[in-house]
Amino acid sequence: MTGAAVVFGSVVDDLTRMLSLTFMQYALVAAVCAGVAGPLLGSYLVHRGMALVGDALGHVTFGGVALGFLVAALVGWEQPLLVALVFAVLAALGMQHLSVHTDAYGDVPVAILLTGGFAVGVLVINFDSVRLAGSIEDYLFGNVVLLSTTDLYVVVALTVAVVGTVAVTHKQLLYITFDREAAGVSRVKVGFYDTLLVVLAAGFVVASIYVLGVILVAAMLVVPVAAAMQTATRFRQSMVHAVVVGEFSAVGGVVAAYLLDLVVGPTIVLIAISVYAGSVLYSYA
């Protein structure tokens, strides 16, 4: 056998072993979910100049997970992801309210959400009664080992909800993204779809916390879309390209991290950024 054949055989053995491990099966399913929902939502958020909303919601989700473990310590209900979802959705609604009803402009509500959410998280995890399932780093940068079966159900349900809602409301989301003034004149409920978009983003962020972590989750909203912008001329085409990049990065990142013993979240992000760099070079060519 040649050296290449030996290496190939070894990789196949590793992949076979990987697919037999329950936590890696969970990780791949969660990665597939992140790779589709993130780029879909990001396609609207990025073009509306809301790329950092995902970052803010990520930090809020950290606070939400911490509160989830506080709830577990206090009443014994151990569903940190669901508590995080409630917290993130409420924070997203609060951010929208601040944007519309106060004189806070631009990214001020985003900055308040980002720092406030993280402050809640840091405060709560330092309570003596709170015991995280993993380390702080696991939540900051992701750790697929923490995914329980219930968590996986939540992740899949959130992804189905996000994709289904986008499929039904795509026309309206595209219109308000492209030209919110004309959409408003056409009686498209701009405020409602603004809110819907950030609530869906909150759902995606919560669903992706174990794969990407709160610090890195925004990458899946932004980087695949940025790559797709280099290659697509139509919006639907750009969404397809973004999802392909997202899936390649997410699934490829999980597999590469397993094979090379790397941390999953950063691996996914760096693969996505590499694809983006390649797409920029392609656009120059």
Partner 1 sequence: MKTVEVDDITFAYGDDEVLTDVSFSIDEGGYHALVGPNGAGKSTLLKIVLGKLVPDEGEARLFDETAHRFKDGARIGYVSQNAPGAGERMPVSVREVVRMGRVPRAGLSRFRRRDTEQVDKALRRAGIAEIADRQIGSLSGGQRQRAYIARALAGEPDLLALDEPTVGVDAEARDGFYDLLGELNDDGITVLLIEHDIETVVERAETLTCVNRTVFYDDDADGFLGSDGFVKAYGKGTPSTGGAP
Binding site for partner 1 (CB under 8 A): 47, 49, 168-169, 171-172, 174-175, 177-188, 228-229, 232-238
- In the complex with partner 1, which residue's Cβ is closer, 99 or 208? 99
DSSP for residue 52: T
The tokens describing 45, both together, are 């958020």
All residues at 6 or more sequence positions from 68 whose CB lies less than 8 Å from its CB, including other chains: 79, 80, 81, 82, 83, 84
Question: In the complex, what is the shortest distance from the CB of residue 47 to partner 1, in angstroms, rounded to a whole number?
Answer: 5
113 half-sphere exposure, CB direction, 13 A CA radius: 32
Question: In the complex, what is the shortest distance from the CB of residue 37 to partner 1, in angstroms, rounded to a whole number?
Answer: 20
Question: In the complex, what is the shortest distance from the CB of residue 145 to partner 1, in angstroms, rounded to a whole number?
Answer: 38
Torsion angle in degrees (nearest 10) through CA of 266, 272, 273, 274:
110
Question: In the complex, what is the shortest distance from the CB of residue 174 to partner 1, in angstroms, rounded to a whole number?
Answer: 7
- In the complex with partner 1, which residue's Cβ is closer, 169 or 274? 169
CA R_g for the chain:
19
Gap between the Cα atoms of 102 and 96, Å rounded: 10
- In the complex with partner 1, which residue's Cβ is closer, 128 or 181? 181
- In the complex with partner 1, which residue's Cβ is closer, 82 or 188? 188
Instruction: Determine the number of helices (DSSP H) and then strands (DSSP E) in the chain.
Output: 12, 0
Gap between the Cα atoms of 38 and 44, Å rounded: 10
Indicate the residue type of 19. Answer: L
Question: In the complex, what is the shortest distance from the CB of residue 142 to partner 1, in angstroms, rounded to a whole number?
Answer: 30
Question: In the complex, what is the shortest distance from the CB of residue 46 to partner 1, in angstroms, rounded to a whole number?
Answer: 9
CB 267 within 8 A of CB 211: no
- In the complex with partner 1, which residue's Cβ is closer, 13 or 179? 179
The tokens describing 221, both together, are 């909203």
CB 258 within 8 A of CB 239: no
- In the complex with partner 1, which residue's Cβ is closer, 176 or 215? 176
